[in-house]
């Protein structure tokens, strides 16, 4: 195996191991705003992927969601990912805008079914208040 392939394999393995460690550590966070922030991008990507395959979602919303997914996983960004705190900001904005755009045309129950986290996070993203629990 040539040296550049070996370096590439090692690099991919290190990145994958880092993601696994970060995912394990994120699961240990206490409930609150920090845990919500950590879960936001994966939840948005999962929702976008689920809505891309749902028959109730109009084609224009599917195109917007696909564009957001491609933007998020692309290594080319407006703000480089290595910058602390603000690095993933462009990804967050693009995926949030795509989900808000799609939410206008998608039935609410389909949207809530596709969201893997607590519904209050999605409702907050959409600018709605969470329903008050019945007393």
pLDDT (tens digit per residue) in 60-87? 999 998 888 888 888 777 777 777 667 7
Cβ density class 87-105: b for 16+ within 10 Å, e for less: ebebbeebbbebbeebbee
The per-residue pLDDT for 118 is 83
Segment of 24-28, 75-79, 89-93 carrying the highest mean pLDDT: 89-93
The per-residue pLDDT for 74 is 80
The per-residue pLDDT for 58 is 92
Residue 102's nearest CA partner among 53, 36, 33, 39 is 53
Residues 6+ apart with CB under 8 A from 106: 51, 54, 56, 57, 58, 61
Whether the model clears a pTM of 0.85, i.e. scores above it, the answer is no
**Region 18-45 average pLDDT:** 76
pLDDT for residue 132 is more than 60: no
């Amino acid at each position: 195996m040539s040296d550049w392939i070996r370096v590439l394999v090692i690099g991919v393995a290190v990145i994958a191991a880092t993601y696994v460690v970060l995912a394990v550590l994120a699961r240990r966070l206490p409930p609150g705003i920090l845990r919500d922030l950590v879960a936001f991008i994966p939840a948005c990507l999962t929702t976008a992927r689920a809505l891309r395959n749902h028959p109730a979602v109009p084609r224009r919303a599917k195109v917007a969601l696909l564009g957001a997914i491609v933007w998020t996983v692309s290594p080319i960004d407006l703000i480089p990912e290595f910058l602390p705190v603000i690095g993933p900001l462009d990804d967050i904005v693009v995926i949030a805008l795509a989900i808000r755009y799609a939410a206008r045309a998608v039935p609410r129950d389909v949207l809530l079914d596709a969201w893997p986290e607590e519904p209050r996070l999605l409702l907050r993203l959409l600018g709605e208040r969470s329903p008050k629990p019945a007393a």
